[in-house]
Copies of this chain bind each other. A is one copy, B any other.
Amino acid sequence: MTRRSAVPPPVTAVLDASSRWLPARLGEVERLLREESTGRGGALGEDAGATLAAGGKRLRPLLVLLCAGAGGGDAAVRAGAAIELVHMASLVHDDVLDAAPLRRGQPTVVANSGRKRAAAVGDLLFSRAFALLAEAGDERAVTLLADASTALARGELAQRRDAFDTRISEQRYLERCRLKTAKLFACACLLGRDEEALGAFGVEIGLAFQLLDDVLDVSGPPERTGKARGTDLLDGTVTLPLIAAAEVDPGLRAVDLRALDAEGVETLCDRIVASGALERVRARALSMVESAKERLASPAFDGEQRDLLGLVADGVVQRYS
């Protein structure tokens, strides 16, 4: 469940397949993000340059733009930038927390002043997201984004509350994914266009995205995922691969995650792999993606929209990082 590592699917494939409006619009989102960082007193420019870059491949803005379609205009660009700012803010706040002593068994490298700066940068990015939408008078967008941000924080809280509990239910896990990941995906789609089917599409690909993220945490390989296997387990985060594995191998529920060391976590990952749980979770994610794509069958969407959103949906489960 480490959102940090959740680098989005190949946006390139979508761009290659699209007509020229999409790369142009994505460029405008990028320009707006940069403007928010350097055009306003330089505070963010100095402190959050790396954050802008670390934001990944702009999957959420891409969803906004695709759902808005070729006629989306400035409102979609603004909404795309705003949702990315919220996503970045959450990454920055994760960074602050990652500096905890003993986290992932590594010594803390971020100095006190570094963490303070990061916390303020996160708050700043967060504020700018709402300012951007509010300045344009886009009430509906502010409400959508505020609700999605609330869900994101609530998902984080739920994950904290569940930490180290190997007995949480699949239902509880899915509810957490909905709050922590899927709601923001759905928000991106609805920011693009107010259409129920798009909200449902966003929820399903968001869930699939998180499921695959959780599979990759156990499967590795680290060279491709960019993080050590079992990072989430070491952090006490119980995800579907472990829950599904315990159905076959009930002894897994008795594992004390607090006592895991680097070696123990490798053994645990291997045991989850041996149970066949990863295939089952991956299949589940794939079926969510299929179901998501079916939502687009309606005549409310044009061919290009259907094709490109379909590519995004496929990309969510075809990735290593």
Which positions in A face B, CB cutoff 8 Å? 40-41, 43, 46-47, 89-90, 93, 96-97, 100-103, 108, 112-113, 115-117, 119-121, 123-124, 126-128, 130-131, 133-135, 137, 139, 142-143, 145-147, 149-150, 152-154, 156-158, 160-161, 163, 236
Contact = CB atoms under 8 A, between A and B. Distances in A.
Nearest to A99: B100
One complex includes copies of this chain to the number of: 2
Contacts of A139: 134, 137, 139, 142
A191 to B, nearest CB: 13
Contact of A160 (B41, B116, B145, B153): B116
A43 B154 contact: yes
Contact of A127 (B101, B116, B150): B150
Contact of A41 (B41, B152, B154): B154
Nearest to A164: B113
A62 to B, nearest CB: 23
Contact of A153 (B96, B127, B145, B152): B127
Contact of A143 (B102, B117, B131, B150): B131
Contact of A47 (B46, B116, B147, B157): B157
A103 B116 CA distance: 12
A199 to B, nearest CB: 17
B131 A147 contact: yes
A127 B112 contact: no
B134 A43 contact: no
A316 B134 CA distance: 31
Nearest to A156: B120
B97 A124 contact: no
A75 to B, nearest CB: 14
A123 B160 CA distance: 14
Contacts of A143: 131, 134-135
B102 A119 contact: no
A150 B156 CA distance: 23
A127 to B, nearest CB: 4
Given A43-B158, A139-B134, A112 B103 contact: yes
A96 B123 contact: no
A142 B136 CA distance: 11
11 contacts: A47-B157, A93-B123, A96-B96, A96-B97, A120-B154, A120-B160, A126-B149, A127-B147, A130-B142, A130-B145, A139-B142
The 8 closest A-B pairs by CB, nearest first: A131-B146, A124-B153, A120-B156, A127-B149, A134-B142, A123-B153, A127-B150, A134-B143
